[in-house]
């Protein structure tokens, strides 16, 4: 009888191609039922037509009517044509009576004896018949065992109707049905239903290295054991078992039981293996190999503490290749990857001929991002043992990470051919197929992987992610929930499920899952899965900030993103998280686009869209935050694959407001491309308050190698606006002011990653900006008016470089920046005086330049573990005409996690506002979570002091606050007595204190309450005397918002804000002083389209149409684009639609 341990099943391009009717193998069947996905041990097939048994062949199809018989110590996996995976246990006989591909037909299998476990996520119905019962199942996961007198059925997921002639029962998850011959089926509760399918689990290979060396057989090894080892080494476990069975009972010593235990473990017989291990320990209580095998069982069965104890004891008793490999798995399960790698490094130094140790070392190095050393180790393993399945598996993941998908597929197929029961090989092949755009075929491979190791939380999470990508709810939710239950400490499923729930209009639940993933990841935000062999690029591009913004809990998002960056400054996802969290936050435009720039520089090629509007500052779009502000990257798929993605949005509302935005992104292997456009037009809320914005963007990126990424971007912005500033008095504006701007920007970015812990970044930005401003007939006094026509052109170049070094408790960011802006301005100011016959014209034409150079160094240290220290400095030199500022700027910050629920932060730092050609930089934007780049005047020196706390009182109740003071020295030009000009510094003071309370009383409701005190004071001087800025502005605001989210997609929000403001201006200023108090109400109503197709919403600002006076932030932005809002004395209605294709 022939024996097949495994076969080259998945050298096939896909299962569908293998079943095509023109294949020669298929001609053996009238109706194909399926194929073997994995064979272990003795397997025979009885073809109904022929009536004779023949060995199971992984290359031949299974036909309807075939009977499969699995011998002792064997097991198989069968992939049926209806995409059901059927696992068959040892000593089992099952007949494939009818396997239907039509969901309306019932598939039928007849179980004569033994056990089967089925895994199916298709809507087909399946009937299983034994002597004692008939089970009717529809798309579920269950286990059936047939004995002579009775049958058992356990439901792992879904529901099953079980019946016989005596009656029927309905079995639900966690229950078991017992049906005895001639008796009605009865139900009973099972505490651990998955214990019934322990035989279907996969255990890492260890049998080949039990000799302790791994490179050759010991000379003192008895002949029968040597023969069994050789047989198992070529996959013939059936013969190996027979060889061991031939040894008389009287000659079986401790070594015999160890080898048999390892052999049993290789085919999933954990219970029998454990019995042999106990016998080996009874004979030798200090058997290191016995403890090593016991550790492997504990790893697979998720008993991590026991696994680590047994593995350490094994290695302490007698270190060997086997004990080192077992210890590496135990350490990996405990998330100690570097320690696991170090153990294998020690093993290969001692045993350089141990192929399995080299392969395992390569696997761990790849997990840690050490690609070069990983490849060296794996190639060594292949050289020692060309048929090492583990080595080819690692080669596959390495090739996949380097965009060599064809090589990856070939390596995974080779690994499957060598060990068809290896679930990670099927997972890898599935990921490779998905990357090539073969989503359905790739998902089928992941289903096979899950069937081969059904208790793996990680595989379940990836299958849930695949269903999510296919938009197959609720299958995605089921798998992610199973993953959580299988390993409550793994953050992967919580991350994916949080993203899923957010897209289903369940942000409260999404927030809880994201918080749970953070709690399980050393209290830092999670951006990717725990399968470190897979780079998981797509999931890292998903918008984690979205759940926080939907709920209005912006501060929570900012805290988590900032904390992540302190710990992982090289994380593109963390930078994107912070950038998204800054949306809608006042006076954070530089930091928002700077974080976006850093995210782009650090990202791998991907399909994540960059909305054209998000990369620009001060667009002055009236924003409806919360759930109505759906972003494009919210619809990012969780798998990276070659494809094209289109996102569009449109909006329209009161005051002649309308516009839209669209982007198309494409990914092909190591290239990604994106293009987009944005248009916004509005007449504004008062005369000459109109605004027209157009933005165009083209972006391309390529990975020249795994270490070297290059990207280039071209942007164009065209703006036209009237007088936008709201200077307290609604009637205080210029009726005949227009401003035209055109800006073309070219950006080049480079990232070089020589090793996992080091990154080099380079950014070059060129900007050509032209502005034309015209003001007509501005009254100066009763007889005089002024008109002006000015044109300016700024051409700038900005060069930046940065080095990032990352370790577990230490990271360093060092860099430099240099910018040079050439300025030219010309125009004329004309005075019309009724007492003079001719106008007075003052023309001007000037040139100048701005130079800015800086260098910086930031270090983040975790010592002791709950405390993160930030120490650093920046040296800045700013030169613009008469203004010269050179300063050494120290940075200090501290975060202290007193518990997982209570955190303190404090910082003090000095900053010189840099000259940025396009308002962005790659220098770190925050210190201990406090933003350090405010939109001040270029060259402004500021010193900040800040503190804050964040307290999670319960799972759904959050309290926090922040206090900050800033002392500013603004550079100004003053006239000297001789008629010239001189630079001077004027003192300004700012303080902002805030308190927040966020509450999610239940899964559909969210409440937000805040209190913000903002005080600005300026010493009297030329700027205050002219009225450009007030001497004092004091604002108190208290917004309260109630939000509701229904799982069907509907959402609503009602908010109210009380605002009190006092403004004091110099007596010579043309604007008025005063104070005002008002209360505003806002409302949103919307619906998320099914299957993540988009969202529609309508929002109203100032619902009660209140009139009031208010001073916006224009006066302290000191930019050509004023910062308007967030309050307007006019009811504004806006409708919006976002579509994702």
Note the pLDDT tens digit of each residue in 1034-1063.
999 999 999 999 999 999 999 999 999 999
**CA–CA distances in Å: residue 203 to residues 274, 292, 455, 824:** 13, 13, 11, 72
Q: With 60 as the cut, is the pLDDT of residue 635 above it?
A: no
Question: Confidence band (pLDDT; 50, 70, 90) for 631?
Answer: low
Q: What is the pLDDT of residue 991?
A: 97
H or E element: which one contains 510?
helix 507-519
**CA–CA distances in Å: residue 1100 to residues 324, 726, 786, 1135:** 65, 20, 39, 9
Residues 664, 747: Cα–Cα separation, whole Å: 19
Q: With 70 as the cut, is the pLDDT of residue 630 above it?
A: no
> Does residue 681 fall inside a structural domain?
no
Q: CA 319: distance to chain centroid?
A: 39
Give the predicted TM-score (pTM) of the model.
0.87
Q: Which of 164, 199, 234 represents a domain boundary (last residue)?
A: 199
Segments forming the whole domain that contains residue 30? 9-199
Residues 275, 273: Cα–Cα separation, whole Å: 5
> Does residue 90 fall inside a structural domain?
yes
Q: What is the pLDDT of residue 538?
A: 46
Question: Confidence band (pLDDT; 50, 70, 90) for 111?
Answer: very high
> Does residue 600 fall inside a structural domain?
no
Q: What is the pLDDT of residue 637?
A: 64
- B/e letters for 32-58, b = 16+ CB within 10 Å, e = fewer, are bbbbbbbbbbbbbbbbeeeeeeeebbb
Give tens-digit pLDDT for 442-463.
Answer: 999 999 999 999 888 889 999 9
Q: What is the pLDDT of residue 214?
A: 53
Other Cβ atoms within 10 Å of 123 Cβ, number:
10
- B/e letters for 128-164, b = 16+ CB within 10 Å, e = fewer, are bbbbbbbbbbbbbbbbbbbeeebbbbbbbbbbbbbbb
DSSP-derived letter for residue 208 is G
Q: With 90 as the cut, is the pLDDT of residue 533 above it?
A: no
Q: What is the pLDDT of residue 96?
A: 93
- Region label for 602, one of left (φ > 0), alpha (ψ between -120 and 50) or beta (otherwise): alpha
The answer to whether residues 193 and 200 touch, using CB atoms and an 8 Å cutoff, is no
Q: With 90 as the cut, is the pLDDT of residue 993 above it?
A: yes
Residues 356, 348: Cα–Cα separation, whole Å: 10
Q: Which of 183, 199, 215 represents a domain boundary (last residue)?
A: 199
φ/ψ of 706, rounded to 5, equals -60, -25
- Radius of gyration for the chain, computed over Cα atoms and rounded to the nearest angstrom: 34
Other Cβ atoms within 10 Å of 982 Cβ, number:
11
For 29, residues 6+ apart whose C-beta sits below 8 A from its C-beta are 61, 62, 63, 64
Lowest mean pLDDT among 409-423, 586-600, 603-617, 1091-1105: 603-617
> Does residue 698 fall inside a structural domain?
no
DSSP-derived letter for residue 668 is E
- Best-predicted range by mean pLDDT among 607-611, 638-642, 667-671? 667-671
Q: Which residue has the higher pLDDT, 833 or 76?
A: 76
Closest CA to 1120 of 772, 633, 734: 772
**How many residues can be counted in the chain?**
1141
> Does residue 715 fall inside a structural domain?
no
Lowest mean pLDDT among 202-216, 593-607, 932-946: 202-216
Q: With 70 as the cut, is the pLDDT of residue 779 above it?
A: yes
Closest CA to 1092 of 434, 504, 470, 480: 504
Residues 803, 815: Cα–Cα separation, whole Å: 6
Q: Which of 154, 179, 199 represents a domain boundary (last residue)?
A: 199
Burial class (CB in 10 A: 0-12, 13-18, 19+), 487: buried
The answer to whether residues 789 and 774 touch, using CB atoms and an 8 Å cutoff, is yes
Residues 602, 636: Cα–Cα separation, whole Å: 18
What is the DSSP annotation of 908-961? EEEEE----TTS--SS--EETTEE---S--TT-EEEEEEEEEEEEEETTEEEEE
Other Cβ atoms within 10 Å of 271 Cβ, number:
12
Residues 194, 210: Cα–Cα separation, whole Å: 29
Mean pLDDT of the chain: 88
For 248, residues 6+ apart whose C-beta sits below 8 A from its C-beta are none
> Does residue 738 fall inside a structural domain?
no
**CA–CA distances in Å: residue 904 to residues 949, 951, 1140:** 4, 9, 40
Collapsing DSSP to helix, strand or coil, 246 comes out as coil
Residues 923, 592: Cα–Cα separation, whole Å: 12
Residues 1093, 296: Cα–Cα separation, whole Å: 45
Q: What is the pLDDT of residue 18?
A: 36
Closest CA to 136 of 156, 112, 108: 108
DSSP-derived letter for residue 604 is P
DSSP-derived letter for residue 59 is T
Print the SS3 string covering 838-863.
CCEEEEEEEEEEEEEEEEEEEEEEEC
Residues 409, 359: Cα–Cα separation, whole Å: 18
Residues 686, 655: Cα–Cα separation, whole Å: 9
How far separated are the first and last CA of the chain, in Å rounded? 55
Q: With 90 as the cut, is the pLDDT of residue 49 above it?
A: no
Q: What is the pLDDT of residue 636?
A: 62
| Mean pLDDT score, 427-456 | 92
**CATH number, residue 148:** 2.60.120.1440
Collapsing DSSP to helix, strand or coil, 898 comes out as coil
Q: What is the pLDDT of residue 441?
A: 93
Long-range Cβ contacts of 256-261 (<8 Å, 24+ apart): 256/225, 257/283, 258/210, 258/287, 258/289, 258/290, 258/293, 259/207, 259/210, 259/225, 259/228, 259/229, 261/290, 261/293
DSSP-derived letter for residue 125 is E
Q: What is the pLDDT of residue 13?
A: 33
Give tens-digit pLDDT for 540-568.
Answer: 445 567 788 889 999 998 998 888 888 88
Residues 582, 576: Cα–Cα separation, whole Å: 10
H or E element: which one contains 34?
strand 32-40
Q: CA 87: distance to chain centroid?
A: 33
Residues 254, 291: Cα–Cα separation, whole Å: 13
| Mean pLDDT score, 102-108 | 80
Residues 390, 425: Cα–Cα separation, whole Å: 9
**CATH number, residue 406:** 1.25.40.10
| Mean pLDDT score, 383-412 | 89
> Does residue 433 fall inside a structural domain?
yes
Number of domains forming the structure of the chain: 2
Q: What is the pLDDT of residue 35?
A: 92
Q: With 90 as the cut, is the pLDDT of residue 592 above it?
A: yes
> Does residue 739 fall inside a structural domain?
no
Other Cβ atoms within 10 Å of 165 Cβ, number:
8
Residues 390, 423: Cα–Cα separation, whole Å: 11
Other Cβ atoms within 10 Å of 610 Cβ, number:
21
């Amino acid at each position: 009888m022939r024996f097949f341990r495994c076969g080259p099943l998945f050298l096939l391009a896909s299962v569908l191609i293998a079943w095509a009717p023109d294949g020669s193998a298929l001609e053996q069947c009238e109706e194909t039922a399926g194929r073997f996905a994995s064979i272990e041990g003795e397997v025979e097939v009885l073809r109904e037509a022929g009536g004779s048994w023949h060995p199971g062949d992984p290359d031949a199809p299974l036909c309807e009517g075939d009977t499969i018989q699995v011998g002792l110590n064997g097991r198989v996996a069968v992939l049926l044509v209806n995409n059901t995976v059927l696992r068959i246990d040892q000593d089992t006989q099952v007949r494939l009576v009818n396997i239907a591909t039509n969901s309306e037909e019932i598939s039928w299998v007849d179980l004569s004896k033994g056990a089967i476990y089925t895994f199916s996520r298709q809507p087909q119905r399946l009937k299983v018949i034994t002597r004692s019962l008939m089970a009717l199942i529809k798309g579920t996961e269950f286990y059936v065992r047939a004995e002579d007198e009775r049958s058992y059925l356990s439901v792992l997921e879904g529901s099953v109707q079980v019946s016989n002639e005596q009656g029927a029962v309905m079995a639900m998850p966690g229950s078991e049905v017992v049906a005895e011959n001639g008796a009605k089926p009865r139900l009973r509760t099972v505490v651990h239903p998955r214990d019934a399918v322990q035989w279907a689990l996969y255990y890492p290979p260890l049998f080949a290295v039990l000799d302790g060396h791994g490179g050759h057989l010991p000379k003192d090894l008895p002949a029968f054991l040597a023969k069994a080892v050789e047989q198992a080494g070529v996959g013939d476990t059936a013969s190996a078992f027979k060889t061991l069975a031939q040894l008389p009972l009287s000659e079986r010593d401790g070594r015999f039981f160890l080898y048999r235990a390892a052999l049993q473990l290789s085919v999933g017989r954990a219970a029998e293996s454990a019995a042999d291990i106990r016998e080996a320990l009874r004979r030798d209580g200090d058997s290191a190999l016995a403890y090593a095998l016991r550790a492997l069982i504990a790893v697979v069965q998720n008993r991590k503490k026991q696994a680590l104890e047994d593995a350490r004891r094994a290695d302490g008793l007698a270190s060997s290749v086997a004990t080192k490999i077992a210890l590496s798995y135990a350490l990996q399960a405990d998330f100690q990857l570097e320690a696991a790698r170090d153990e294998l490094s020690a093993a290969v130094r001692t045993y350089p001929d141990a192929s399995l140790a080299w392969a395992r070392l390569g696997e761990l190095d790849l997990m840690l991002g050490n690609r070069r050393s990983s490849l060296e180790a794996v190639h060594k393993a292949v050289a020692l043992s060309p048929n090492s399945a583990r080595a080819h598996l690692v080669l596959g993941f390495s090739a996949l990470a380097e965009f060599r998908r064809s090589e990856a597929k070939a390596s995974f197929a080779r690994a499957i051919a060598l060990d068809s029961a290896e679930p990670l090989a099927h997972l890898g092949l599935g990921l490779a197929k998905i990357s090539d755009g073969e989503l359905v075929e790739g998902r089928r491979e992941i289903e096979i992987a899950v069937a081969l190791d059904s208790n793996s939380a990680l595989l379940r999470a990836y299958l849930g992610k695949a269903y999510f990508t296919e938009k197959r709810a609720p299958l995605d939710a089921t798998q992610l929930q199973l993953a959580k239950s299988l390993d409550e400490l793994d953050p992967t499923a919580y991350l994916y499920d949080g993203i899923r729930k957010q897209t289903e209009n369940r942000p409260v639940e999404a927030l809880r899952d994201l918080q749970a993933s953070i709690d399980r990841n050393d209290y830092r935000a999670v951006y990717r899965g725990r399968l470190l062999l897979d780079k998981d690029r797509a999931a890292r591009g998903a918008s984690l900030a979205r759940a926080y913004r939907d709920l209005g809990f912006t501060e929570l998002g900012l805290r988590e993103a900032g904390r992540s960056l302190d710990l992982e400054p090289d994380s593109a996802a963390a930078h994107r998280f912070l950038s998204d969290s800054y949306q809608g936050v006042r006076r954070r435009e530089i930091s928002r686009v700077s974080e976006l720039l850093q995210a782009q520089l650090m990202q791998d090629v991907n399909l994540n869209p960059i909305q054209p509007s998000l990369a620009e500052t001060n667009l002055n779009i009236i924003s409806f935050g919360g759930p109505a502000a759906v972003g494009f990257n919210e619809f990012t798929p969780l798998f990276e694959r070659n494809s094209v993605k289109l996102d569009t949005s449109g909006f329209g509302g009161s005051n002649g407001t309308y516009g839209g935005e669209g982007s198309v992104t494409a990914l092909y292997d190591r290239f990604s491309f994106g293009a987009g456009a944005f248009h916004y037009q509005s007449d504004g809320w008062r005369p000459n308050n109109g605004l027209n914005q157009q933005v165009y963007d083209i972006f391309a990126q390529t990975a020249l190698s795994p270490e070297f990424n290059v990207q280039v971007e071209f942007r164009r912005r065209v703006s036209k606006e009237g007088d936008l500033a709201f200077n307290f008095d609604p009637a205080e504006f210029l009726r005949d002011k227009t401003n035209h701007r055109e800006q073309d920007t070219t950006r080049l970015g480079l990232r070089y990653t020589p090793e996992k812990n080091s990154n080099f970044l380079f950014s070059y930005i060129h900007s050509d900006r032209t502005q034309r401003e015209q003001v007509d007939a501005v009254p100066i006094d009763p007889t005089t008016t002024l008109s002006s026509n000015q044109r300016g052109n700024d051409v700038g170049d900005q060069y930046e470089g940065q080095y990032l070094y990352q370790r577990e408790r230490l990271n360093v960011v060092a860099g430099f920046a240099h910018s040079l802006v050439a300025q030219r301005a010309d125009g004329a100011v004309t005075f019309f005086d009724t007492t003079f016959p001719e106008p007075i014209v003052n023309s001007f034409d000037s040139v100048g330049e701005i130079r800015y150079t800086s260098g910086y160094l930031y270090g983040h240290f975790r010592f002791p573990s709950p405390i993160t220290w930030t120490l650093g400095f920046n040296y800045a030199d700013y030169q613009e005409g008469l203004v010269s500022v050179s300063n050494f700027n120290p940075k200090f910050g501290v975060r202290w996690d007193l518990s997982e629920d209570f955190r303190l932060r404090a910082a003090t730092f000095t900053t010189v506002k840099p000259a940025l050609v396009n308002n962005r930089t790659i220098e770190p934007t925050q210190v201990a979570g406090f933003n350090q780049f405010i939109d001040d005047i270029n060259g402004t020196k500021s010193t900040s002091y800040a503190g804050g706390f964040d307290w999670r009182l319960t799972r759904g109740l959050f309290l926090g606050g922040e206090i900050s003071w800033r002392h500013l020295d603004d550079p100004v030009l003053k006239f000297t007595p001789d008629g010239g000009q001189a630079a001077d510094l004027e003192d300004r003071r700012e303080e902002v204190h805030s308190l927040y309370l966020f509450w999610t009383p239940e899964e559909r409701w969210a409440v937000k309450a805040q209190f913000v005190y903002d005080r600005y004071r300026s010493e009297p001087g030329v700027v205050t005397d002219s009225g450009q800025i007030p001497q004092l502005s004091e604002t108190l605001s208290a917004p309260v918002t109630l939000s509701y989210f229904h799982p069907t997609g509907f959402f609503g929000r009602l908010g109210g804000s009380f605002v009190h403001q006092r403004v004091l201006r110099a007596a010579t200023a043309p604007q008025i002083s005063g104070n005002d108090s008002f209360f505003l109400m806002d409302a949103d109503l919307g619906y998320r389209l099914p299957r993540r197709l988009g969202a529609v919403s309508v929002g109203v600002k100032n619902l009660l149409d209140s009139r009031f006076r208010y001073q916006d932030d224009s006066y302290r932005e000191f930019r050509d684009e004023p910062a308007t809002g967030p309050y307007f004395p006019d009811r504004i209605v806006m409708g919006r639609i976002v579509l994702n294709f």
